[in-house]
Structure 1
Amino acid sequence: MSFLISSKNPLLIFASVDGKKPHWLVALLLTLTFLILGQLLGYFARMPFETSINSIVNPAWKCAIPIFEQLISGNLPIVVCVFLWMYFYEKRPFSHLGFQKKKSVSLYFKGFLGGILMFGSVVGIMAVLHFVNWENGNPLLQGKEMLFPTFLLLIGFVIQGATEEILCRGWLMPILSARYNLWVGIFLSSSLFGILHGFNQNVTMLAVFNTVLVGVFFSLFALRQGSLWGACALHSIWNWLQGNFFGFEVSGQEAGPTLFNLKEIGPDWMTGGIFGPEGGFICTFIISAAIAIILFLNTNDKIKIQTQDL
């Protein structure tokens, strides 16, 4: 536990020594500015490609490519905005967000496995409780023939998941933690994360609560690693498994082609209903369990990452 809140945690140390620590309201407004400006830039960037996308004939690619394009164009410009702010105003490198070089592959792989384990547990519990069944969807958008279109979308979700982690856990949380304390940083960054998802389709109060809760989990997971690599991987594979592997909605959004196509058949408060599993109590239980595991891990099992390796 002490490693999580230590000022020497590599995820926090550079924000702590930097002199530019904005007021919490300014930090939240800056985050929204990065988000809105980045998405506007992405919107105009993808406009020239609309005509060529409409000419695609294959149903799977016609569905997958626009989603991929939106994942890339709607997120990469946000990362660019954060990078430019750090470079020109804060005068610090992008690696200070938690992208140290040492153990990056190992940390990313651990996050990848963690995401598989967590969302696999959600689906496993739903299956045991008979809250999930096969859905007879469009045969042209499901099955093993979707391997390559869904792999393309995995790349898109790698960008999307990393962007949200950079924005909320890489920049906002450490900045707020440096000015106030870690719990303020975690609470405000996770709350903003939940509020932003509250504008999604078919959202419920439980869905918003779960999104705030998973924001807390991502924060603790990143702090536990002292890095952002694992949180980026876990976030990305969670979304991809949910939408393009199992066929559920991702935070209320259709994810396109899917290898399997499952549907929730239990009570919505347990399964999330048309919002997807993230809106159900089963997901609440899994995320809460994951938070408990991080908080109560043996202190002798700390991951030690030296700041000079950044």
Structure 2
Amino acid sequence: MCYIEKKNKVRVPLWADLLIFLVLLFIASLIGVESTLSLIGSTDFESVKYSFLSAIISSIMVFLVIWLQHCIIDKRPLSELGLCTTHFVWKHSSLVVVWTFIVFAIGFLICLLSGDVSIVSVHWNLKDLSLSLLMFTFGAFYEEIIMRGYLLTRLCRSGLNVWLCLIITAIIFSAMHLANPNVNFCSVVNLFLFGILDGCIFLYTKSLWVSVIAHCAWNWIQGSIFGFKVSGCEFFQPIINLDMPSYNLVNGGLFGFEGSIICTILLIPFIIVFINLLSKSIAKDECQH
């Protein structure tokens, strides 16, 4: 099964389910923000400390919301959200991490050779690398359990076409980042494409953990290793410190590599591969049914 089964009768209409979810998510977000601000003792929303604690607390709060919505209200198992592990999870996860590194390594080399970035220094700090990995893991879990775990699963279960569900969730995913610093048209397109890719990964592997690892690797490798900003933000000290002589569509400017046209070009082949894999898997499942 590479897509969500629709055998069980939906207990709550889609519109009502989504409305309840949004209300619960809004309440949880307010509690999360207040809890984070209380813990750090300031209102500096741009501090690394706030971002770090917010990622952890938000992940816990959204998991509780989705557990309440999916398991208690809809009376469905958590495993339907992809929260299960098999030996294939680690195999697929390893592949997506390697793929992510290749994408950013190629993009970085192109920018370096074209003179659109230069290396200022190389800095190795295990503490910063570990903390950034932890923060990006929780941040990825937060976004993935909402977008792929709950919304994509719920839309597919409603009977909508799988590809339409992917497009809808990718649009919402890119829209979530519109308030980020220095967002531009190219970055929105790339976030949409990444949403499509990660959605395909989730449906094909049937594992939320693989899409979380793909998302975490995407952010951590571009930010903590290659020194680009991550969706317009910068957090911990990266391994490579970059200088950009100008901010343009090649290096992604102040938004980071996600704002680069090179990122667009590199994403497309992988999306085609996973769409092809998902199409074959869906066709195989339909034949079995």
The normalised TM-score by structure 1 is: 0.79
2:73 maps to which residue? Answer: 89
- 8 A Cα contact 1:203 1:252, kept in partner: yes
2:176 partner SS: helix
CA, structure 1 residues 12+299, in 2 after alignment: closer, same or farther (shift >3 Å)?
A: closer
Cα deviation digits, residues 177-209 of structure 1 (max 9, x gap): 222111221111111111111111111111111
Partner residue of 1:168?
Answer: 147
Q: How does 1:47-86 map to 2 (within 5 A)?
A: 47-51=37-41, 65-86=49-70
How far 1:143 moved relative to its partner?
A: 1.6
Equivalent residue in structure 1 for 2:164, among 184, 187, 191: 184
User: Which residue does 1:279 correspond to in 2?
Assistant: 259
Secondary structure of the structure 1 residue equivalent to 2:99:
helix
Q: Unpaired runs of 5+ in structure 2?
A: none
Amino acid at match of 1:194: S
Structure 2 CA distance for aligned equivalents of residues 124 and 31 of structure 1: 43
TM-superposed deviation, 1:164:
1.0
Counterpart position of 1:200: 180
1:133 equivalent in structure 2 = 118
Q: Is the 8 A contact 2:70 2:76 kept in 1?
A: yes
- Amino acid in the other structure paired with 1:276: G
**Once the two structures are superposed, what CA deviation does each residue of 1:250-300 show, in whole Å capped at 9, x if it has no partner?**
111122322221244466122211011101111111111210122345988
Unmatched tracts of structure 1, length 5 or more: 1-7, 55-62, 137-141, 306-310
> Does the 8 A contact of 1:161 with 1:236 survive in 2?
yes
The correspondence for 1:231, drawn from 211, 218, 243, is: 211
Q: Partner letter of residue 38 of structure 1?
A: A
Q: 1:118 to 1:37 in 2, by over 3 A?
A: farther
**Corresponding residue number in structure 1 for 2:129:** 150
Residue 19 in structure 1 maps to residue 22 in structure 2: no
Residue 96 of structure 1 and its aligned partner are, at CA, apart by: 1.3
2:60 & 2:235 partners in 1: Cα distance? Answer: 19
TM-aligned CA deviation for residue 245 of structure 1: 2.0
Q: Which moved more, 1:257-266 or 1:245-254?
A: 257-266
Kindly state the Cα deviation for residue 172 of structure 1 after the two structures are TM-superposed. 0.7
Q: 1:16 to 1:233 in 2, by over 3 A?
A: farther
TM-score, normalised with respect to structure 2: 0.84
CA contact (8 A) 1:197 1:251 kept: yes
Aligned mates of 2:234, 2:29 — CA distance in 1:
19
Per-residue CA deviations over 1:90-130 (Å, capped at 9, x if unaligned) read 11222211122222333333333332233333223323333
Aligned to 1:58: none
> Cα–Cα, structure 1 residues 174 and 199, in superposed 2: closer, same or farther, change >3 Å?
same
Q: Which residue of 2 aligns with 1:102?
A: 86
Shift of 1:71: 1.9
Number of the residue aligned with 1:44: 34
Q: Is the 8 A contact 1:198 1:208 kept in 2?
A: yes
Q: Could you say if the C-alpha distance between residues 298 and 212 of structure 1 is closer, same or farther in structure 2, counting changes exceeding 3 Å?
A: closer
User: Number of residues paired by the alignment?
Assistant: 280
Mapped to 1, the partners of 2:191 and 2:243 lie a distance apart of 21
| Amino acid of the structure 2 residue aligned with 1:228 | L
